[in-house]
Amino acid sequence: MTAPQITSSAFSLDFGSEVAGKLSDPQTVTFTNIGNANLIIGDTEVIGAAPADFGLTVDFCSFQVLPPGADCEIELSMRPTAIGERTAQLVIENNDPDQDLFIIDLKGKGTGSGGCQLNHAASTFDLTWILLAILILAAYYLPYLSKRLTKSSACSSSTARISSIMRRVVGSSLPK
């Protein structure tokens, strides 16, 4: 029987661990027509659980015709969008009667930056206290600084308005 037959240099790619948001080193897959008729390759697509984490960096295969014995290459990279296991599949449409959708499994792991990791609840709590402290200090020292820097009435009225707003935000315990 005369028919094309697709095979590849790898049936799965493991990109290992990579910092979330950082591009991994590329990996190359070679596709070969080991049949005895022309292999027509259609579109290539990344599908699955995390398709946005994997991408083709070089594609010499899509929409190509490979005579018997010819090959082509696709280069892929991973850029994890989150921390944890990342998986997808590279799907190659072709006219191989046994494998019209040739699939390569893709996997990798997104990791943190390697530095300290913030606890969101704790960092929000701490930020609230820091902002409150800044507001209190500004309310106490703004009138004093404005008197020291200038005696203009425009500045004094602006300072009075800011102090009034700060008293409403922080509380009535601020000096007048």
> What residue spans define the domains of the chain?
6-111, 120-170
Judge whether residue 25 has pLDDT over 90.
yes
C-alpha 106/C-alpha 52 separation (Å) is 12
pLDDT-based confidence at 136, cuts 50/70/90?
confident
> pLDDT for 31-86, tens place per residue?
999 999 999 999 999 999 999 999 999 999 999 999 999 999 999 999 999 999 99
Half-sphere exposure of 85 (CA within 13 A, CB side): 6
- Say how many C-beta atoms besides its own lie within 10 A of residue 137's C-beta: 10
Output the pLDDT for position 145: 58
- At 172, is the pLDDT very low, low, confident or very high (cuts 50, 70, 90)? low
Is 50 exceeded by the pLDDT of residue 116? no
The reported pLDDT for the residue numbered 124 is 54
> What is the overall mean pLDDT for the chain?
84
Please say whether the beta carbons of 37 and 67 come within 8 A: no
> DSSP per residue over the chain, as a string?
-----EEES-SEEEEEEEETTPPPPPEEEEEEE-SSSPEEEEEEEEESS-GGGEEEEEES-TT-EE-TT-EEEEEEEE--SSSEEEEEEEEEEE--SS-SEEEEEEEEEEE--SS----HHHHHHHHHHHHHHHHHHHHHHHHHHHHHH---HHHHHHHHHHHHHHHHHH-TTS--
What is the domain class of 6-111 according to CATH?
mainly beta
Cα(33)–Cα(46) distance, rounded to whole angstroms? Answer: 21
